[in-house]
Chains A and B, each alone.
Chain A
Amino acid sequence: MSTGTALRAEQDKGRRAAQNKEKWAQGRTYISAAVILIWCLAPAYWMVVVAFREVGFTYDTSILPTHITLDNFITAFDTSFGNRFGQALLNSIFIGVVVTAISLLIGVFAAYALARLNFRFKYMVLGFILGASMFPGVALITPLFQLFTNIGWMGTYQALIIPNISFVLPLTVYTMTSFFREMPWELEESARVDGCTQGQAFRKVIMPLAAPAIFTTAILAFISSWNEFLIASQLSSDATQPVTVAIANFAGAQPQQIPYTAIMAAGTIVTIPLVILVLVFQRKIVAGLTAGAVK
């Protein structure tokens, strides 16, 4: 009897220790998460605070919002002086979506070939693709300008989309290839044994497993296209300019004045769609994970 109680006490102690350890681990996770949030969001917070400040108080350094106004957001969307921020937002989204979709599609093709097929020149192809990420982007503008002028593409959407695709493709192909390599491809073969075509097997078995990788690559591609400025600043027209160019077009009321508040407002507006995008896609990540677990 007494031994039994002692044993139970011992077990309780062990369980409590385990629980404590668990709690401690959880606690550490939350502390780390908080640190990450502060690191990532503090400068962005400052952007938002400045975005809501009156122009006359641009340089105020109170940590909390002061001299609050919506003027900067109204200015950002004001079209009377030839700003096309709204249009530019749509352009950026359109260009980003097309670039992401196309580069993922052809990137997945290429990655599948590189990870799964045996063929000669594989290393040459890999080197070629990587080599495309080695030339200074600033030096691409002049040749591209001349090329697109010659074929009459200046200011068109394709003149912005095709360079962007090329910029994100090397990363897309490399990421997808490295992930495809890690896939349990035996599953694909067993699915085919079960009567799936190769295409079906790829779609139904491999794609769900690769979902986190594909999602990640998609986000990377989209943001990189979203951020692109140099090429767009020279190759776009008023009608096709993306949001980065539109922000560079912001001007103060006076010649040398830098419109910090309006730029910060634009930065705030531009960040929001991306955050929403990520929150929506969260489900996809989770779906990918569960599929992985069930396998």
Chain B
Amino acid sequence: MFSKAILRLAVVLMVIAAMPASAALNVFATVPEWAALAREIGGDKVNVFAATNALQDPHRIEAKPSLIARARSTQLVIATGAELEVGWLPVVLREAGNASIQPGQAGYFEAASAVRLLEVPARLDRADGDVHPGGNPHIQTDPRNLLKVADALTVRLTQLDPANAAAYKAGLARFSERWKAALVRWEQAAVPLRGVPVWVQHRSFPYLADWLGLKELGALEPKPGVEPSSAHLAGILERQKATPARLILRAAYARPTASEWLGERAHVPVVVLPFTVGGDAEAGDLFGLFDDTLRRLLAALK
């Protein structure tokens, strides 16, 4: 009786599966920034799903059933790579039973493969905390990286959906044009940030620092992914007296305790950056993300 019911249900589902899906290319982005980028390039030719939101710690995502269900019928997975998603994506890809999105296939795209990674560790030891062997994966905080990822992503979209190649090309051209104009605007506005010494909560912003010329004094976390103890923070407070930083940077998803503690005692403003699309109300898209990031940095500097 039970098996018969299952059989019937399976037949119904097979019929649903056989029905033509919507014409748009289904895209599964692991983080909001790649979802936003795919929308910029693909427009109405893509149907984009973001697996996580900006208020979730990207290192601690679970292989939820909803993600497996989405991965099952997607044609392109856009991951950051560099082991950012190592804790959940491999399971989602394996469980989804979708051969076309396995690593190595055209349906699997890693953004990190298009850019040069910073902070590639010279030695690999778990005693150094949650280190990423390939380098720091938070590449989206440098807008110049977005251009490179956009180029590579367009190639991939065209490969998967040649019928809409012209639309992707046009989408990329439109995005690049606007993005380059915005880059000039941002770089001009960000001149006062050059050489400004900062503390960071987690090593989330090496690419931002590289772009803007911020001087990172160090991270509040003693090791990546390890919560700072009060003794460790006291040590940083001492160092702050010798080499004072002017800002403390924290991503929107991060726990406020440590940065607030230090900011209060050292009388240094704590800047909560959106980190990715959706990190705050103003960071609604990629342009808003950097407009708001710069606005917050500059406002805190005054």
Do A and B actually bind?
A: no
Q: Which residue numbers of A lie inside 8 Å of B, CB to CB?
A: none
Q: Which residue numbers of B lie inside 8 Å of A, CB to CB?
A: none
